[in-house]
Structure 1
Amino acid sequence: MKDMLVRLTDLPDISQEERHLAEENIIFRRPIAPEKSIVCQWVGKEFGNYWESETDVAFSFQPVHCFIAQKGNEILGFACYEVTAKNFFGPTGTKEGWRGKGIGKVLLVKSLLALREMGYAYAIIGGIGPIDFYKNTVNAVTIEGSEISIYQNLIRINHE
């Protein structure tokens, strides 16, 4: 999988999507320390051990380098940034059954805005899967020659 690059000065306005989702009682926020195990376990259950480990690292920063989408007491999605490498976005995911509603877009842009607030002009989306989503949502471009990434020597276990 390749990496992508996104310019942080041209991010889309997500206020309309966020208002629309708020009408469905979906809110977006950073989790706090008492929720660490709940959020990390949810990520592990929904997306696997690797992403759970990266999410755990997000809680070592203040503010937490993660956003969640929630409805009531249910987590619907998450997005982390700068957990595996400086200036990297990810991992991120939306719970099956809730995809296609704009949750991923809001989580992505909120995370990229946080990176911009940290002083970055560009961000790297590492080891991307849905190229078109990132291209269409934030005008991300593929980084040529990035097939060999920081994940290349990742210890692999059979069930991941």
Structure 2
Amino acid sequence: MNDARYPNISAIDNRLAELENEKQRLLALREALRSAQNERSVQTFTPEQKVALFRQRFRGREDIFANRWQNQQGRSGYSVACDNEWVNGVCNKPRIKCQDCSHRKFSELNERIIYRHLAGHQVVGLYPLLKDNTCYLLAADFDKGCWQE
């Protein structure tokens, strides 16, 4: 069957071998490119750089922040951090509420607090609305099933 309409089987085999070689070359090239891309995208930061990056991305009031708490019944929430909280002779909790306390001294959000938060030692919340009613970020909460409503 040497008809021009029917290609030679050996020619097909040769072409398939060429295509297989080309495929292997392209796969190797793709893997090399992925490796190079991953090497560039992985960047290590010092703890100080991580704190600075976090503070740059999540900016809010620095004169105040909130601590997360959980009581014995399992209720949890956030309360303004106070330097005098539970200090003997100064803090009168639970007899006097924090909002009515004359010894209230709000804690500042600083590098040490951010580091403790990032390290998982303390859960804090920031106050995004600044004193001049501006803010740097917008947060959206999508954890409930009805978030699309």
**Normalised TM-score (structure 2):** 0.26
Quick check: which has more Rg, 1 or 2?
2
Q: Which has the higher strand share?
A: 1
